[in-house]
Amino acid sequence: MKFEFDIDKYNPKLTVGIPAVIFAIGLVIVAISFGSCGLPVTPGIDFAGGTSVTIYTDQTQDQIKEYFAGYDLKSIDTGLSGGYYLKFGPMDNDKMQAFNEYILAGYPDAGINQIGASFGTTLQGQAMLAILFAFLGMAVVVFIAFRNLIPAITVVCAGVADVTITAAVMNVIGMELSLATTAALLMLIGYSVDSNILLTTKVLKRQGNTKEKFAGAFHTGFVMTTTTFSAILAMFIVSLIGQVQTLYQISGVLVIGLICDFFFTWAFNAGILKLYLDKKNPQKKSGGQKAKAAAAAASAADAAEAEKSADKAAQAQKTQKAQSQASSRNRKRRGGKR
């Protein structure tokens, strides 16, 4: 099955403008998060410090909250398999040791993960450096690959927008920044560059009709994205059922990011490339308009010629009729003389 993408059906200024507005909204949300916590997304236990506990019990959330009433319980997440994922704020060493004993006394099979506040701060800096270097590396590779300012900047901007909108959605739905979600954002940078380079390469470096090049790139990109999305969605569902937090966080971010990437690649990047090609090759654009005008003129000429032919036929018919009438009158006169 071939999925058609007709770039000429869409106004390129509109396809660029709508994603740009969404990107601006995402920037505002991320800026608010930076102002409140110093990170683009609200930090989780990995970066803020604290304790995460996974338990399997038949108790209700109210009973669990009552059991941990003496501790800083931040949240309780429920898995489809009946498990609970609890998050607690940072504690000092003495309280943490007592907390561990208290948990194991009530829930012997509990899984406990603890991170100190200072170590979390160190991880914050390392994560931000990783994302920064990923963007810088992406920009260098793209500029070397294309050696053309506008297409290269477009690819980089699409990648930045993809990650920014994903971070904004994470803030809106309450998904925290952790080591797992940071890894997912780094994966997203790579995938975004891949899909945008696919589009840019096929449109700029291949010969042929612009419309056909866009359609061919879309077909390849659509199959690639839907295949990846299906696999990630399956991982998300399985990790949600099995209460595997790391896979759940990674797949959740990637599901959001793939949707954003598809939108920004085939709306924003495609629109920019269409405007760039129209400006770079105005003769092709005007040539198409001239062809349409020539076709219209030819149609008008054909219509005029047909009208002339019809007039000539009508005139010939009138002449023939007049001659027939004259011949009939002559025969009558001759008959009268006899």
pLDDT digits (tens, 9 = 90+) for 55-76: 888 888 888 888 888 888 888 8
Same domain assignment for residues 84 and 173: no
Q: What confidence tens digit (pLDDT) does each residue in 167-211 have?
A: 999 999 988 888 889 989 988 988 888 888 888 888 887 777 778
Q: With 80 as the cut, is the pLDDT of residue 8 above it?
A: no
Q: How confident is the model at residue 12 (pLDDT cuts 50, 70, 90)?
A: confident
Indicate which CATH number applies to the domain containing 142. 1.20.1640.10
Angle at CA of residue 189, ends 186 and 191, nearest 5°: 110
State the DSSP string of 35-63. HHHSSSS-B-HHHH-EEEEEEE-S--HHH
Residue 185 within a domain: yes
Q: What's the number of domains the chain is made of?
A: 2
Residue count of the chain? 338
Q: How confident is the model at residue 166 (pLDDT cuts 50, 70, 90)?
A: very high
Same domain assignment for residues 137 and 254: yes
Same domain assignment for residues 146 and 235: yes
- Please tell me whether the overall predicted TM-score, pTM, comes out greater than 0.85 for this model: no
Domain that holds residue 96: 50-115
Q: How confident is the model at residue 287 (pLDDT cuts 50, 70, 90)?
A: very low
Beta-carbon contacts of residue 181 (< 8 Å; ≥ 6 apart): 41, 44, 170, 175, 249, 250, 252, 253
CA distances to 63, 103, 235, 239, 254 from 57, in Å:
10, 13, 24, 19, 30
- Of the chain, the end-to-end C-alpha distance in Å amounts to 88
pLDDT at 117: 67
Last residue of a domain, one of 256, 282, 308: 282
Q: What integer is the mean pLDDT of 219-243?
A: 89
